[in-house]
């Protein structure tokens, strides 16, 4: 293959120690990274957030003795969402030619759209539209709650951007190392 640096055999990590499951280029690495990040995000809600501020994750009293993440806990979930789900989506679409960066772009767009939907004024129009079109159902209630009660924060937009970029970086590195291993 042209364009790839010649890699001395000694530098290849494809020996017996590198289990086949976790070889570079395998979807397992993005999945593991995403799962780890998601677990951190869940921990923010479990430990640092009030139980009533989330619909899915109850606060755990035994762990909520004090804030674990400090100021980072405020934006960590916004970082984690695009990071983890970009990696999961990329893992579902393995590619030998180039990493599926489109997954990062797609999840960045989704996260930004949901954040912008919380903008004052916009949120009421969206909530009203949802309610007028679909009525009140178990599916629309959480959505209207989210846009009406959530807080628009530029910091969340920046965190989402950072999360998508971090996911793209992981995909890039994993892909490069995977290509190198192919040549070992």
Partner 1 sequence: MSTASKSSSSGCGRYLLSTVIAALGVVAIVGSGGGGGEIESMWVPHIDPPPYVTMSPSRLTVEQGGTAVFTASAGRTLSPPTYQWRRDGATIAGATSATYTLVGANLGDDGAQFSVEVTASNGTATSTGLLQVSRLPGVVYEDSDFPLSNWTVAATADPAQNGPSQTVSRASSGGNPGAHRSITYEMPAGVGSITVFHTAASATYEPAVQGPVYGIDVQLDCSEIGGVGGAAELAARAMIEQAGRRFATDYRLICVWGWEHYSVVSQRAEEFKLVDGLACGTSETCPDFSASGAPIRLGFLTRARHGSSASPAGTNSQGIDNWKVTVWRK
Q: Which positions lie near partner 1, rule CB under 8 A?
A: 38, 45, 50, 52-57, 74, 77-78, 81, 85, 88-89, 92-93, 107, 110-111, 114-115, 118, 124, 127-128, 131-132, 136, 138, 141-151, 153, 156
Q: What's the closest the beta carbon of residue 149 comes to partner 1, in angstroms?
A: 4
- To the nearest 10 degrees (0 to 180), the angle between helices 154-182 and 72-92 is 40
Q: What's the closest the beta carbon of residue 54 comes to partner 1, in angstroms?
A: 4
With respect to partner 1, which residue has the nearer C-beta, 12 or 129? 129
Q: What's the closest the beta carbon of residue 81 comes to partner 1, in angstroms?
A: 6
CA separation for the pair 27, 16 (Å, rounded): 19
With respect to partner 1, which residue has the nearer C-beta, 95 or 169? 95
Q: What's the closest the beta carbon of residue 98 comes to partner 1, in angstroms?
A: 17
């Amino acid at each position: 293959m042209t364009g790839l640096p010649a890699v001395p055999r000694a530098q290849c990590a494809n020996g017996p120690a590198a289990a086949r499951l976790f070889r570079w280029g395998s979807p397992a690495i993005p999945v593991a990274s995403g799962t780890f990040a998601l677990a951190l995000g869940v921990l923010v809600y479990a430990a640092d957030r009030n139980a009533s501020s989330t619909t899915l994750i109850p606060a755990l009293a035994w762990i909520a003795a004090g804030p674990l993440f400090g100021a980072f806990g405020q934006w960590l979930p916004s970082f984690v969402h695009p990071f983890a789900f970009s990696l999961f989506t990329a893992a579902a679409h393995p590619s030998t030619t180039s990493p599926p960066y489109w997954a990062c772009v797609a999840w960045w767009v989704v996260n930004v759209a949901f954040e912008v939907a919380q903008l004052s004024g916009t949120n009421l129009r969206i909530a009203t539209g949802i309610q007028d079109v679909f009525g009140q159902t178990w599916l629309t209630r959480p959505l209207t709650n989210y846009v009406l009660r959530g807080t628009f924060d530029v910091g969340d937009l920046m965190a989402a951007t950072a999360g998508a970029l971090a996911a793209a970086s992981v995909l890039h590195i994993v892909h490069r190392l995977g290509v190198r291993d192919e040549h070992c």
